[in-house]
Homo-oligomer: A and B are copies of this chain.
Amino acid sequence: MGRATIRDVARLAGVSPSTVSRVLNGKDAGHMRPETKERVLAAIKALDYTPAKAARTLRKKKTGVIAILLPDISNPFFSLLARGVAAVAFEHGLSTLICDSDNSEDKENRYWDLLRAEGVDGVVFVPVGRPDETKAHRLRRRGVDIVVADRRVEGYPTVEADNRTGSASLASHLLSLGYRRIAYLAGPPDVSSAMDRLEGFLEALRGAGVEPVAVLHGDFTYRSGYVLAHRLFSRRHDVEAIVAANDLMAIGALRAAEDLNISVPNQVGIAGFDHVLPADLVRPRLTTVAVPAYEIGEEAMRRLLRGDNSAERRVLPVKLIPGESTPPRGGDSSGEEARRNRPRDKS
């Protein structure tokens, strides 16, 4: 019933606990009689022995556990990122504790306390907003490495996507297709990736002498995309395209248009960011920018393993994915597709 201990194994093998420990830890390099080792191994198998991690942790002050603290595991972008982290961790014999802060800074802070008590060896952190750095700092001071993923936090190693460039290329793409009256549904102002996307977009637009017809801030959820687009459509009737800071918001906008009998892409074009699965499932297929979520997770975990604590930013490239939701429009585009009718619907 009660699990076997190292002493049980030692007794059965007729050796001392230290010897068993040495076998367990591969500290028998060369200088251990093969026969002794055999006996120990046999005893381990006979008793179905597994070393208690807690005891080992207590001695070594290493838990073999890393955590990933993120805002919402049911968001496909984050679950992909988490998979990337876990895969690399698993390869290196580390366990992954997934902590879902549920988009709440309060819960996030409670998780920091938990992680501290748990004694995790490292944390991949996707902050909810502008994080209360003190919590993270305290852990860090105790020698726990922290790598921030997908977003930026001052003074921390970061692995993120090239949001600025990607967003700029999306803007150029739309401009080249003939879109001019463009509204932007941004993410939360305190999230770096959201702001990078917004700024990259505006910069490219302004570089071409174009001003957005509106910039509204949401919170990256499907719901907020729907609400913002709905509001926008009821206020303005001249929008040619809506660009959202992520795919879920873009899909929300798509649904809002649908509910208002505004045809996409005939009357209005829509684009997103991330290239998560739903962006491909939706019709018209979303024009978006592919962000390598899984790879961001992998790279963040690798930095953790490397103990790379420099505040350096690692930026992964992104890729424009043209979809059917933004067909060519107006006069100056290449226009290989037949022009759709684009009557403007009043109200």
Contacts and interface: CB of A to CB of B under 8 A. Distances in A.
Contacts of A283: 258, 282-283
Looking at chain A's contact residues, is the secondary structure mostly helix, strand, loop, or mixed? Answer: helix
Given A76-B76, A142-B3, A143-B1, A54 B50 contact: no
Interface residues of A, number: 49
Given A50-B116, A98-B96, A281-B282, A73 B83 contact: yes
A117 B1 contact: no
A80 B73 CA distance: 8
A53 B100 contact: no
A324 to B, nearest CB: 12
A333 interface: no
B80 A74 contact: yes
A55 B53 contact: no
Contacts of A73: 73, 79, 82-83, 86, 98
A96 B83 CA distance: 16
Interface in A1-50: 1, 3, 48, 50
Contacts of A52: 58, 117, 119
Given A74-B76, A281-B281, 15 more contacts: A1-B143, A52-B119, A53-B117, A54-B54, A54-B58, A54-B63, A55-B58, A73-B98, A74-B80, A95-B99, A96-B97, A97-B97, A251-B281, A258-B283, A283-B283
15 contacts: A1-B141, A51-B117, A52-B58, A54-B57, A55-B58, A73-B82, A86-B100, A96-B98, A97-B98, A98-B98, A222-B281, A251-B281, A258-B283, A278-B278, A282-B283
The 6 closest A-B pairs by CB, nearest first: A54-B57, A98-B98, A74-B79, A54-B58, A54-B54, A50-B117
